[in-house]
């Protein structure tokens, strides 16, 4: 399991100019296949199946489950990322979290 402590969190929950809630990811772990478990700074947590979201060249390496499992939380961006720099917006992940 990967964890970012509260003192390392990048920013607090806020609503951006487009009316989108900005909630950072604080913990992440690989579950299986293309499913990950996330916890957000607002306490929301759950699993997300990303199998239908891996489009484009940047996500191609993530089609390998072993590579996909190498996700980590980037405290500077407040979201998950993979070694090749692929990431997904935290608000996108938060909206799809099954709680």
Which pLDDT tens digit goes with each residue over 1-55? 443 333 343 433 344 434 556 799 999 999 999 999 999 999 999 999 999 999 9
Q: For residue 36, which phi and psi values (nearest 5 degrees)? A: -125, 155
Residue 96, token pair as written in the block: 């799809």
pLDDT-derived band at 97, boundaries 50, 70, 90: confident
Domain that holds residue 51: 2-96
At 51-70, the pLDDT tens digits run: 999 999 999 999 999 999 99
- pLDDT of the residue at 22: 78
d(CA 33, CA 28): 15
Domain count across the chain: 1
The predicted model scores a pTM of 0.78
Instruction: Give me the CATH number covering residue 43.
Output: 3.30.2020.10
């Amino acid at each position: 399991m990967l964890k970012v402590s509260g003192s390392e969190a990048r920013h607090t929950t806020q609503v951006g100019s487009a009316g989108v809630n900005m909630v950072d990811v604080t913990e992440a772990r690989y579950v299986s296949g293309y499913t990950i478990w996330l916890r957000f700074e607002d306490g929301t947590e759950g699993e997300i199946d990303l199998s239908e979201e891996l489009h484009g060249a940047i996500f191609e390496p993530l089609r390998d489950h072993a590579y996909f499992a190498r996700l980590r939380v980037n405290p500077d961006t407040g979201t998950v990322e993979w070694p090749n720099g692929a990431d997904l917006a935290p608000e996108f992940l938060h909206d799809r979290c099954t709680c």
